[in-house]
């Protein structure tokens, strides 16, 4: 793509001008967008964005904020003055769940040029430096790369035992019910190639919590995309509060069964609802 642009500009411009245009174009045209959903993340938001922007590879960032009462979006708006070409913000009117925030972000990304679209939490549970490893896995052939806590043992730091058991148990449950061989199906640190999000019927994805993460992977799996796991260390947040709730757990428990039943009885409908 970059070479083609260079050739095209070269038809019209001198070498010096061509260099200038290419610098400008590639500055604002990275292939990668990191979507970060936020609800009351004022203590983390600035630091996480800066850490992504400090990586060697260039990533754009889209924050999807649900009108956080703590003013998270205001911090992002202030940062946009400095990073207007690479920091984007979508504010929704009310808290509507992580799943629909991502669907909103995916559609936003597909309306633009991005080839690699990432999911990442705002609370530093996912290390921004691992974005590059997820990117590499997809650039080298995977269609979806998943930052996996359970690919090699259990790589979770500072989580209470009940949360580790819940999350680790969920991975067995999902494997048992769906047959999908992903060690960490509830993982929320993911890179999707553009073609995967284009193939999935995003309007049909209705879950909002962990079930959303499972459903996205299951849909990609049913569409025969190649899902690869990259081992990561997941660390519990130090600042701010978790938004996990019992309703999110129940949604996952019943959601996985309902997904499996729908896919059994109406495989095509599940793929293209």
Rule CB under 6 A: choose which of 41, 90, 184, 228 binds ligand GDP: 41
Q: Does 213 bind ligand GDP (CB under 6 A)?
A: no
Rule CB under 6 A: choose which of 38, 145, 171, 178 binds ligand GDP: 38
Q: Does 95 bind ligand GDP (CB under 6 A)?
A: yes
Nearer Cβ to Mg ion, position 200 or 208?
Answer: 208
Q: Which stretch binds ligand GDP (CB under 6 A): 12-20, 24-32, 239-247, 257-265?
A: 239-247
User: Residue 75 CB, nearest distance to ligand GDP (Å)?
Assistant: 13
Q: Does 105 bind ligand GDP (CB under 6 A)?
A: no
Nearer Cβ to Mg ion, position 136 or 243?
Answer: 243
Q: Does 37 bind ligand GDP (CB under 6 A)?
A: yes
Nearer Cβ to ligand GDP, position 18 or 170?
Answer: 170
Q: Which stretch binds ligand GDP (CB under 6 A): 3-11, 59-67, 78-86, 195-203?
A: 59-67
Q: Does 187 bind ligand GDP (CB under 6 A)?
A: no
Q: Does 121 bind ligand GDP (CB under 6 A)?
A: yes
Q: Does 66 bind ligand GDP (CB under 6 A)?
A: yes
For residue 237, the SS3 value is coil
CA-angle at 252, arms to 235 and 187, nearest 5°: 30
Name, in order, each residue with C-beta under 8 angstroms of 196's C-beta and a sequence gap of 6 or more: 143, 144, 220, 223, 225
Closest CA to 127 of 180, 52, 195, 66: 52
105: left (phi over 0), alpha (psi -120 to 50) or beta: alpha
User: Residue 209 CB, nearest distance to Mg ion (Å)?
Assistant: 12
H/E stretch holding 234 reads strand 234-235
For every residue of 74-127, DSSP letters joined together read: HHHHHHHTT-TTTEEEEE-SS---HHHHHHHHHHHHHTTT-SEEEE--SSSSS-
* Residues within the interface to ligand GDP (CB under 6 A): 37-39, 41, 64-66, 95-98, 101, 121-123, 125, 237, 242-244
């Amino acid at each position: 793509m970059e070479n083609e642009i260079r050739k095209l500009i070269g038809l019209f411009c001198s070498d010096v001008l061509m260099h200038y245009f290419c610098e400008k174009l590639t500055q604002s045209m990275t292939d990668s967008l990191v979507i970060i959903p936020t609800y009351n993340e004022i203590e983390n938001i600035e630091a996480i964005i800066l850490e992504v922007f400090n990586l060697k590879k260039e990533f754009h960032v889209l924050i999807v904020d649900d009108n956080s009462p703590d003013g998270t979006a205001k911090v992002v708006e202030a940062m946009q003055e400095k990073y207007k070409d690479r920091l984007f913000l979508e504010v929704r009117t009310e808290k509507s769940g992580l799943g629909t925030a991502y669907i909103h972000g995916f559609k936003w990304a597909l309306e633009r040029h991005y080839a690699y679209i990432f999911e990442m939490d705002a609370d530093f549970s996912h290390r921004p430096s691992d974005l590059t490893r997820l990117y590499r896995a997809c650039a080298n052939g995977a269609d979806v790369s998943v930052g996996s806590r359970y690919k090699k043992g259990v790589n979770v730091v500072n989580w209470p035992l009940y949360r580790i058991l819940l999350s680790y148990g969920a991975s067995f449950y999902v494997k048992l019910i769906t047959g999908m061989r992903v060690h960490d199906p509830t993982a929320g640190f993911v890179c999707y190639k553009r073609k995967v999000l284009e193939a999935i019927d995003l309007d049909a994805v209705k879950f909002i919590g962990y079930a959303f993460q499972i459903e996205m992977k299951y849909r990609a799996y049913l569409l025969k995309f190649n899902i690869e796991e990259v081992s990561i260390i997941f660390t519990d947040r130090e600042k701010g509060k978790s938004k996990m709730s019992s309703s999110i757990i129940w949604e996952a428990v019943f959601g996985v069964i309902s997904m499996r039943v729908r896919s059994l009885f109406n495989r095509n409908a599940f793929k293209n609802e």
